[in-house]
A and B are shown apart, each in its own frame.
Chain A
């Protein structure tokens, strides 16, 4: 299968690869997918005191399109508030990377990943308030 230029670029030079401390209260972790399906994405975001995403890291097990989708997402979420980041749609990722129909699920996974990371952050702050 021929890959689009942008997928290749992100695949060859993935942005923001890495891991942050998942126990840090300012870090939200979203892990989505399953090895059985051939895709696992781990997306982590770190917010500053104003609730703005100051850093994002990812690691992805999956095809080139899954790697590119998560790499692109880390670029997009930086500087955004959690509300803004939660507005990112899989269709925007798919469009930006020119994903073919069989690879749309990779962008869906990326959207799931950011939502999961935001939920994780929110549940952390809720717990902090509760205790």
Chain B
């Protein structure tokens, strides 16, 4: 039987997604001389009016996806910029009310590094540890609240392990205290239902490229009821009601809007399919010895799976998986010898944190892809365990924690 499988198999949808062909088509119509290439800020001719109309359509589509008003959407270059704008913008605007911020220790670096910068500017940050399943408990947020807390920033879904926080419960706590609630929705918007009204979210960071839209475009939802104010971080022509200046990229916004429409239209069906694929993948590897699921088993994104294969190092495992495009949870691929800070925060041992793989399936993943991935992973884990002195020791019944390691 001839296989239609394309190698390598892309299983890194948490990193980015390909642009959906429906999205690409709409985008292409906004570039050339024949297309809708105008500057939306041009008020004196039809080129500008048409561009503005396309942008407002995109704005309405993105707003609808999260149950917001179109006037609450501010275009940015992506989720990193949205995180910066939301966190710094709110912290600075409301600094008279206090300089304490609550976040979690497993946020994306775009949030953590922004908080670090605010620390240098005299703010005080509380970094909440997640529970062993990777969930930031609403009670922990409540307990960390102080008189001078002005902002809480908690991610909806984690980029590395895919767990989903109960943001609605956190929103209840922050709204009751009139503390601004920022949510990093880069991994969740377009993948699972997000309702900014029901969840009482004040600021929501989003990006297009994790939901089959283009890279280079994102948005920040800024709540109007109750009215949330932010200080602009990029100044210029006063676009986006002064919150974010810069000429709007029509093709990017049109792409984001179409991606939002497509995502919303097929979400329930797509998620049912992705959960089946994810479960198939987990079932295919979890019967091996010493294999651990990282993060909450149910409270997670439909397509995301993070697994530790004990006694096998993540980078060498990826090296063996030539047919698979996946990422290691471990930061070992960089110059750093530190294991994943996310897995460490879950209380995973160093070995397990060094032994993780992040699989993420998506719109174009097939059952055949998953089956091929399973057989590759099994073979690679077996091969590397044969090479692993730690596996030997485990098999000999030696407790690795009792060994005096010569750290280097």
Report A-chain residues with C-beta under 8 Å of the C-beta of B311.
61
Whether A108 contacts B408 by the Cβ 8 Å rule is yes
Nearest CB of chain A from residue B158's CB, rounded to whole Å: 22
Whether B313 contacts A38 by the Cβ 8 Å rule is yes
A80 in the interface, Cβ–Cβ < 8 Å?
Answer: no
Report B-chain residues with C-beta under 8 Å of the C-beta of A3.
319
Choice from A59, A62, A63, A102 contacting B392 with Cβ under 8 Å: A59
Complex CA–CA separation, A19 to B387 (angstroms): 10
Whether B388 contacts A60 by the Cβ 8 Å rule is yes
Report A-chain residues with C-beta under 8 Å of the C-beta of B334.
102
B312 in the interface, Cβ–Cβ < 8 Å?
Answer: yes
Complex CA–CA separation, A64 to B311 (angstroms): 14
Whether A63 contacts B313 by the Cβ 8 Å rule is yes
Whether A33 contacts B388 by the Cβ 8 Å rule is no
A85 in the interface, Cβ–Cβ < 8 Å?
Answer: no
Please give the number of chain B residues whose Cβ is less than 8 angstroms from any Cβ of chain A in the complex: 30
Q: If A40-B390, A59-B388, A61-B389 touch, does A35 touch B351 (CB 8 Å cutoff)?
A: yes
User: Closest B-chain residue to A36, C-beta based?
Assistant: B350
B407 in the interface, Cβ–Cβ < 8 Å?
Answer: yes
Whether A64 contacts B319 by the Cβ 8 Å rule is yes
- Which A59-92 residues have a C-beta within 8 angstroms of B? 59-64, 66-67
Whether B406 contacts A39 by the Cβ 8 Å rule is no
Complex CA–CA separation, A41 to B406 (angstroms): 11
Report B-chain residues with C-beta under 8 Å of the C-beta of A42.
389, 392
Complex CA–CA separation, A25 to B315 (angstroms): 36
Please give the number of chain A residues whose Cβ is less than 8 angstroms from any Cβ of chain B in the complex: 32
B366 in the interface, Cβ–Cβ < 8 Å?
Answer: no
User: Closest A-chain residue to B319, C-beta based?
Assistant: A64
Whether B388 contacts A37 by the Cβ 8 Å rule is no
A1 in the interface, Cβ–Cβ < 8 Å?
Answer: yes
How would residues 88 to 111 of chain A score, 1 for a CB under 8 Å from any chain B CB and 0 otherwise?
000000000000001001001100
Nearest CB of chain A from residue B391's CB, rounded to whole Å: 8
Complex CA–CA separation, A109 to B406 (angstroms): 10
Whether B405 contacts A36 by the Cβ 8 Å rule is yes
How would residues 356 to 394 of chain B score, 1 for a CB under 8 Å from any chain A CB and 0 otherwise?
000000000000000000000000000000111111100
Nearest CB of chain A from residue B336's CB, rounded to whole Å: 9
Report A-chain residues with C-beta under 8 Å of the C-beta of B389.
31, 40-42, 59-61
User: Closest B-chain residue to A3, C-beta based?
Assistant: B319
B95 in the interface, Cβ–Cβ < 8 Å?
Answer: no
Q: If A1-B333, A19-B392, A35-B390 touch, does A62 touch B313 (CB 8 Å cutoff)?
A: yes
User: Closest B-chain residue to A109, C-beta based?
Assistant: B408
Complex CA–CA separation, A67 to B313 (angstroms): 11
User: Closest B-chain residue to A103, C-beta based?
Assistant: B335
Complex CA–CA separation, A32 to B405 (angstroms): 7
Report B-chain residues with C-beta under 8 Å of the C-beta of A40.
389-390, 405
Report A-chain residues with C-beta under 8 Å of the C-beta of B387.
14, 17, 59-61, 67
Complex CA–CA separation, A39 to B408 (angstroms): 9
User: Closest A-chain residue to B406, C-beta based?
Assistant: A32
Report B-chain residues with C-beta under 8 Å of the C-beta of A61.
311-313, 387-391
Nearest CB of chain B from residue A116's CB, rounded to whole Å: 8
Complex CA–CA separation, A17 to B392 (angstroms): 12
User: Closest A-chain residue to B320, C-beta based?
Assistant: A11
B354 in the interface, Cβ–Cβ < 8 Å?
Answer: yes
Complex CA–CA separation, A87 to B354 (angstroms): 32
Which 8 A-B residue pairings sit nearest by Cβ, starting from the closest? A34-B405, A36-B350, A42-B389, A63-B315, A59-B389, A35-B351, A34-B407, A38-B354
Known: A38-B332, A40-B405. 5 other contacts (CB 8 A): A34-B407, A37-B337, A37-B408, A59-B387, A112-B406
Which A residues fall within an 8 A CB radius of B? 1, 3, 11, 14, 17, 19, 31-42, 59-64, 66-67, 102, 105, 108-109, 112, 116
